[in-house]
Amino acid sequence: MEYDVAAVEAKWQDLWERERIFYTTEDAERPKYYNLQMYPYPSGDLHMGHLRNYTYVDLLTRYRRMQGYNVLSPMGWDSFGLPAENAAIATGIHPREFTERQILRMKSQLRRLGAVYDWSRELACHTPEYYRWDQWLFLKLYERGLAYKSRSAVNWCEQDQTVLANEQVVSGACERCNSPVTRRDLSQWHFRITEYADRLLQDLEGLDWPERVKTMQENWIGRSEGSEFTIEVADGQGEFEVYTTRPDTIFGMTFAVLAPEHPLVEQLVAGGEHEDDIRSYVEKVSSASELERMTTGEKSGIFLGRYGINPANGRRVPLYIADYVLMGYGTGAIMGVPGEDQRDWDFATQRGLRILRTVKPPPGFEGEAYVGEGVAINSGFLNGLPTAAAKQRIIAWLEEKGIGRRAIKYRLHDWLVSRQRYWGCPIPMINCDSCGLVPVPEKDLPVIHPDVEEYRPKGQSPLALVADWVEVDCPRCGAAGRRETDTMDTFVDSSWYFLRYCDAGNSERIFDDDKVKYWMAVDQYIGGVEHAVLHLLYARFITKVLYDMGYSPAEEPFTRLFTQGMLVKDGAKMSKSRGNVVTPEPYYERYGADAIRLYELFIGPPTDDAVWIDGGVEGTARFLDRVWRLGMGEVGSVSDREPDRRDHAILGVAHRALRKVTADIDRFHFNTVVSTLMALINEVIAYLRGGGRTETFRQVYQMLLLMLGPLAPHLSHELWERLGYGGILATQPWPKWDEEIAREETVVMVLQVNGKVRDRAEVPVDIDEATAEQVALRSPRMQRWLEGGRIARVITRPPRIVNVVVE
RNA sequence: GCCCGGGUGGCGGAAUGGGUAGACGCGCUGGACUUAAAAUCCAGUGUCGCAAGCGACGUGUGGGUUCAAGUCCCACCCCGGGCACCA
């Protein structure tokens, strides 16, 4: 009988949804399993690359369900963001309309794949029901001093006409549009993520995450230990702080450098003889793009015409400004120690500054700066001390003098969350001339996102043009006030949505305590590695804040993280912008969703990038076709004969396959799950050709369908029903293997002479060493290689291998 | 420059602790069925030598440890990713 792909798939997709098979509520009786993928931006059409990820998640949902877990697998939409807005600029269609249309399309495509979710929990962050809680969250952070507005140099994307967080600048360019990022001095909203730097770093340890991602976060947070101390400017012109990880080298400081944006610079320059030159240098540097500043060649800089005092030895050292010193890190000023720092060495040699070694380099050292550890020299009272001891000693001395202290610095910056764009959540703050910044009262939430005429960004949010929205009375004094017109970074939306899924419909609270307590944390989180220092860091931060506030029961949101590889075609990641996408439609029509799913699983290890091969789906379709014909009785024959060793053998094969499939799903080796099932069916076909037994076949085939259920659900559900196995496949328990049946009775033992395979013998699995040795020595083929030699040793590893060593 | 991954047939890949290298699939070759094609089925398919039972070689390169190395150690080459003047 023909397998009608379209009809069968539609039938089961309909049933799963109608019967709400994968909808769920809290149930204390069953262990919970919160299975989640990073919610998608509703970009419209899914290509094969997307389907790979959805297949993994769906496989897990179905598999854990069969294992008896109460599985929560929700779906929602990261629906604020630039693409909808850019489309609006191009077409005039309102981003809301555009977005909602895309959501519907994507839902139908997920359904077509056979992906199942608890749709009763669907959320979309562009809806007031959702973003109202973004705003509530913002207010809570503000109350706790974790949200603040301040003026500083920020990253500005000229193309998108908005500021960007540090995490969104990749090699000096905008993460979204890839155009160069410049610096601007602007007053912007930040979240104080740096306050959580230490906890974010420390708690990484307990997470079952890929090492790679943990390392990326570790580096991004960039904790360093050292000390800071004060340098006085000669002739009473002020003082400034420097930070160093090598205070032990302080005697080697022969100059000092301030960042061009350092606040003291203005004071030091005013009235000085090089005033104009210095000002134009500062001008030049600060207007340069990140990319231009990131040169690694010649270090630019200029002498300030002033001197500082090295506190260790009282010597006068020249003060410079240079662009290799960054205002955003440490104190924005450094001591220049050319002997022990390569950057300072470069700067000093380019200008003929004095170089003094204060750590003794190892014999034969021929490099420039010596950055390793060693014994202090030319360092007054530190002389003779090894680096670690010298550090202790000098810090104690600085503290005693009251000019320095131990210090810890992070590379992590506070998270810049305001954006000058339209399609995002409005920041719930009001500016009042007399009260200053006033939060919108909680009862007035949500601050509804207004419609606008003009979406084009012009350096401020298009919301600023909606006068009757902007102009409000100050909630505190009643005078005329103006709303904040910036919107929030969409990463704010995504930093807590997984909590909202636990209680998505709640209109009274952000979510119910008991519900989040039951479901959190996410047991398995799946997404792309590109979010390692973006979403995955922000989500951890916000979860910790909510935990501290008593809202989240979990301090860490994602217990286990899996980052899948991308799908590659023609040497590049499959993506719309590269124009190398493979659309699933023709494959759905020819082979069906199950064949696509199976090939996505089979294509390679889920962690690795995989190359799309057009003919690949044909292989998995052929496999499914064989499964079908087998179930329909079109292969071989069965009868009600007595069981014999053929039955025993095929049952062993099936139970071993089950054991391997279970282990391989657990360790995310989905590609070998598929190959194991293929190997199983090849064996079953051979078995049936040799005359199968009705009951044995039934047992084996049931196991096969149960294993195939999470992978190729439509076909396996249909067969399960047609063969009258009872109930719906999805709700059957995952089968158990019997070690006794799975045990192999005989195995092929390898016989080697001097490590080379010379023969093989079928032997009982429980063969002992002595017998194994005899088998090897008696083999005629082995004897040919043993003749004339003296047997020095025989290594037996029964029942695997016997290696005879001859001389 | 530093920190992670990774180099296995024509291709995707397999080989949890050192123990049959190449499972499974794609592709290709030959055959069966067919008037023909498609579909399906059967056989073959790492390289070299051989008519063949067989032998030699073979997991990026060069060394090493071991009875035995894709797997462990040392050095190097190449590819991918992350960070990149962070004091």
pLDDT score of A530 = 85
pLDDT band with cut points at 50, 70 and 90 for residue A166: confident
Q: Which residue is nearest to nucleotide B5 (CA to C1')?
A: A212
Which sign does the torsion angle of CA A51, A57, A60, A66 carry? negative
- The separation, in Å, between residue A189 CA and nucleotide B59 C1' comes to 55
- The separation, in Å, between residue A759 CA and nucleotide B47 C1' comes to 22
Which nt has its C1' nearest the CA of A753? B67
Percent of chain A with pLDDT over 70: 99
- The separation, in Å, between residue A589 CA and nucleotide B30 C1' comes to 33
Nucleotides, chain B, CB distance < 7 Å:
3-5, 11-16, 19-21, 23-27, 39-42, 55-57, 67-69, 80-87
Top mean pLDDT of A338-342, A500-504, A772-776 is at A500-504
Q: What does residue A440 show for φ and ψ, rounded to 5 degrees?
A: -65, 130
Is residue A292's pLDDT more than 90? no
Which nt has its C1' nearest the CA of A212? B4
pLDDT band with cut points at 50, 70 and 90 for residue A299: confident
Average pLDDT, chain A: 91
Q: Which residue is nearest to nucleotide B6 (CA to C1')?
A: A608
Residue A366 CB neighbours (<10 A): 5
Burial A396-433 (b: 16+ CB within 10 A, else e): ebbeeeebbeebebbbbbbbbbbbbbbbbbbbbbbbbe
Which nt has its C1' nearest the CA of A683? B24
Is residue A287's pLDDT more than 90? no
Residue pair A591/A599 in contact by the 8 Å Cβ criterion: no
Is residue A134's pLDDT more than 60? yes
- The separation, in Å, between residue A801 CA and nucleotide B21 C1' comes to 15
Which nt has its C1' nearest the CA of A332? B87
| Region A784-790 average pLDDT | 84
- The separation, in Å, between residue A626 CA and nucleotide B31 C1' comes to 22
pLDDT band with cut points at 50, 70 and 90 for residue A790: confident
Which has the higher per-residue pLDDT, A96 or A567? A96
pLDDT band with cut points at 50, 70 and 90 for residue A569: confident
- Over the stretch A664-691, which tens digit does the pLDDT of each residue have? 999 999 999 999 999 999 999 999 988 8
pLDDT score of A275 = 87
Closest by alpha carbon to A484, among A423, A531, A526, A439? A439
- The separation, in Å, between residue A372 CA and nucleotide B1 C1' comes to 15
Of the listed ranges A422-436, A711-725, A768-782, the least confidently predicted one is A768-782
- Over the stretch A305-317, which tens digit does the pLDDT of each residue have? 999 999 999 999 9
Q: CA end-to-end span of chain A, whole Å? A: 65
Question: Is A326 strand, coil or helix?
Answer: coil
| Global ipTM | 0.94
- The separation, in Å, between residue A240 CA and nucleotide B86 C1' comes to 19
Residue pair A181/A171 in contact by the 8 Å Cβ criterion: no
pLDDT score of A628 = 94
Percent of chain A with pLDDT over 90: 68
pLDDT band with cut points at 50, 70 and 90 for residue A781: confident
Q: Which residue is nearest to nucleotide B39 (CA to C1')?
A: A622
pLDDT score of A290 = 61
- The separation, in Å, between residue A49 CA and nucleotide B7 C1' comes to 24
Q: Which residue has the tokens 């809202």?
A: A551
Residue pair A457/A421 in contact by the 8 Å Cβ criterion: yes
Which nt has its C1' nearest the CA of A342? B85
- In whole angstroms, give the CA distance from residue A426 to residue A711: 42
Of the listed ranges A28-32, A161-165, A538-542, the least confidently predicted one is A161-165
pLDDT score of A1 = 66
- Over the stretch A252-266, which tens digit does the pLDDT of each residue have? 999 999 999 899 998
| Region A584-611 average pLDDT | 92
| Region A503-511 average pLDDT | 95
Is residue A39's pLDDT more than 70? yes
- In whole angstroms, give the CA distance from residue A357 to residue A354: 10
pLDDT score of A87 = 86
- The separation, in Å, between residue A212 CA and nucleotide B5 C1' comes to 8
- The separation, in Å, between residue A602 CA and nucleotide B12 C1' comes to 9
pLDDT score of A283 = 84
Of the listed ranges A55-64, A123-132, A161-170, A344-353, the least confidently predicted one is A161-170
Which sign does the torsion angle of CA A179, A184, A189, A194 carry? positive
Residue pair A426/A463 in contact by the 8 Å Cβ criterion: yes
Which has the higher per-residue pLDDT, A176 or A552? A552
- The separation, in Å, between residue A676 CA and nucleotide B9 C1' comes to 21
**How many residues comprise chain A?**
807
Q: Which residue is nearest to nucleotide B20 (CA to C1')?
A: A750
Which nt has its C1' nearest the CA of A335? B87
Strand order, beta sheet including A567-569: A572-573, A567-569, A610-611
Residue pair A340/A379 in contact by the 8 Å Cβ criterion: no
Which has the higher per-residue pLDDT, A60 or A300? A60
- The separation, in Å, between residue A604 CA and nucleotide B82 C1' comes to 23
Which nt has its C1' nearest the CA of A626? B40
Residue pair A715/A627 in contact by the 8 Å Cβ criterion: yes
Of the listed ranges A102-111, A177-186, A530-539, A781-790, the least confidently predicted one is A177-186
pLDDT score of A294 = 61
Closest by alpha carbon to A714, among A119, A114, A292, A117? A114
- In whole angstroms, give the CA distance from residue A540 to residue A523: 14
Which nt has its C1' nearest the CA of A331? B87
pLDDT score of A297 = 61
Is residue A337's pLDDT more than 70? yes
pLDDT score of A711 = 97
| Region A93-99 average pLDDT | 93
**Residues in CB range of A777: below 8 A, 6 or more apart:** A783, A786, A794, A804
Which nt has its C1' nearest the CA of A341? B87
3-state DSSP of A236-304: HCCEEEEEECCHHHHHHCCEEEECCCCHHHHHHHCCCCCHHHHHHHHHHHHHCCHHHHCCCCCCCEEEE
Which nt has its C1' nearest the CA of A619? B25
pLDDT score of A771 = 92
Which nt has its C1' nearest the CA of A603? B12
| Region A167-193 average pLDDT | 84
- Over the stretch A138-159, which tens digit does the pLDDT of each residue have? 999 999 999 999 987 788 888 8
Which nt has its C1' nearest the CA of A667? B16
Residue pair A496/A539 in contact by the 8 Å Cβ criterion: yes
- The separation, in Å, between residue A615 CA and nucleotide B10 C1' comes to 15
- Over the stretch A345-387, which tens digit does the pLDDT of each residue have? 999 999 999 999 999 988 777 778 888 888 999 999 999 999 9
pLDDT score of A293 = 66
pLDDT band with cut points at 50, 70 and 90 for residue A716: very high
- The separation, in Å, between residue A387 CA and nucleotide B13 C1' comes to 51
Structure tokens given for A670? 């989905």
- The separation, in Å, between residue A364 CA and nucleotide B75 C1' comes to 21
Q: Which residue is nearest to nucleotide B27 (CA to C1')?
A: A615
- Over the stretch A601-620, which tens digit does the pLDDT of each residue have? 999 999 988 888 888 899 99
- The separation, in Å, between residue A2 CA and nucleotide B37 C1' comes to 20
pLDDT band with cut points at 50, 70 and 90 for residue A291: low
Is residue A754's pLDDT more than 60? yes
